[in-house]
Structure 1
Amino acid sequence: MEISRLSDRPISPTGAKMFKVAFDLDVDDSGWPPVSVERLWGEKTDVRFEIRVVNTPFFVRGVSFGDLVRVRPDHERRELVYDGYTSASGHSTIRIIFMRADVRQSVEERLRASGCSWETAGGFPNLMAVDIPSDVGYGELRRWLLARVDAGDIEIQESAISVAHKEG
């Protein structure tokens, strides 16, 4: 991500201005998710108040990398806030929670070989947010991940599964 010298605002690989979008979250009785708002980077589109999400959410459900969302300015909070879903990118989002640290390398190798990317967060060292591009066959990868779940190595959460990945 490049930083614009004029505004210190990141510029996406496509050259579009980037904005943080606040997604308000409902925290359940058990305290999950551990945050009440997640802010995702998005790039401006040609449609007013529409943003293309350009990172993978850790806690927001139903949104994936590349999805288009509507935003509204919240003047009191001084930020853009998620206002609705516009269209899907075809990507899917899953989260992996590592129950055993010694399996992380093999999981990362399998994800990389499958064509996936992921993000990690310093405050949550056992959590990985995984982007599954539309051209990745999720069925085989899912079976492999579920075998790791059965072995007690990881837990997974399917946060946003695209139509193509549900069918494949």
Structure 2
Amino acid sequence: MSEPNGQPTSASGAKLFKVAFDLEEERPNWPPVSVERLWGEKTTTKLEIRVVNTPFFVRGISFGDLIQVRPDNERRELVFENFTSESGHSTVRIILLQGTEREIVESRLQVAGCSWELANAFGNLLAVDIPSTVEYCELREWLLAQVRAGRIEIQESAISSVHRQQLPSFP
């Protein structure tokens, strides 16, 4: 959704802003980008933003989390400064190793109550938002079974305290 002036807005009508997250290389060629930009909406706290989409590469951030930003006048954009508080959502990335698995994985995620984002440039990568209401332990067991079967790879990028409490032993 967007206003007549082209400024994107959230479902609640709040103006959305892009926030740049500078990424460090974790291993050669990963992540495949040096900056990821996420949408966010301002809160009532100065320079605080609520993230309103699911990151593909940023670690430790999920949909709904609160972050502080700083204006970077040279770059002409808002840049992530630090994490403020979690929303209870978790972020998991799924890499589809077999093209035939997309429907099965998406169906299971939908049944669980998750949403996900796709990027055209990374067709086999799903950025999955797991709301706090989802029973993550059960979903995680299913995902790990798919990993063991060689169908997918996963990266648990940001697991909320709500979901960590559901897991008997979390790394």
Normalising by the residue count of structure 2, what TM-score does the alignment of the two structures yield?
0.95
Mapped partners of 1:55, 1:38: distance in 2: 12
Residue of 11, 14, 23 corresponding to 1:13: 11
1:105 equivalent in structure 2 = 103
Shift of 1:29: 4.2
Q: Secondary structure at the match of 2:153?
A: strand
1:35 equivalent in structure 2 = 33
Letter in 2 for 1:34: P
Mapped partners of 1:29, 1:159: distance in 2: 15
Residue of 136, 158, 166 corresponding to 2:164: 166
Identity of aligned residues (%): 64
Which sections of structure 1, spanning at least 5 residues, go unmatched?
none
Mapped partners of 1:126, 1:13: distance in 2: 28
Mapped partners of 1:61, 1:141: distance in 2: 20
1:62 equivalent in structure 2 = 60
* Structural mapping, 1:1-168, within 5 Å: 2-6=1-5, 8-168=6-166
Mapped partners of 2:112, 2:27: distance in 1: 36
Letter in 1 for 2:65: D
Shift of 1:106: 0.6
Letter in 2 for 1:55: N
Q: How many residues align?
A: 166
Alpha carbons of 1:117 and 1:29: their partners in 2 closer, same or farther (altered >3 Å)?
closer
Letter in 2 for 1:94: V
Mapped partners of 1:128, 1:18: distance in 2: 23
Shift of 1:27: 1.4
Q: Residue by residue, what CA displacement relative to the aligned partner does 1:106-125 show, whole Å, maximum 9, x if unpaired?
A: 11000000000000000000
Give the root-mean-square deviation of aligned CA atoms: 0.7
Mapped partners of 1:46, 1:17: distance in 2: 13
Shift of 1:14: 1.4
Shift of 1:129: 0.2
Q: Secondary structure at the match of 2:94?
A: strand
Mapped partners of 2:38, 2:28: distance in 1: 24
Q: Secondary structure at the match of 1:11?
A: coil
Q: Residue by residue, what CA displacement relative to the aligned partner does 1:37-84 show, whole Å, maximum 9, x if unpaired?
A: 000000111111000000000000000000000000000000000000
Which stretches of structure 1, 4 residues or more, deviate above 3 A after TM superposition?
none
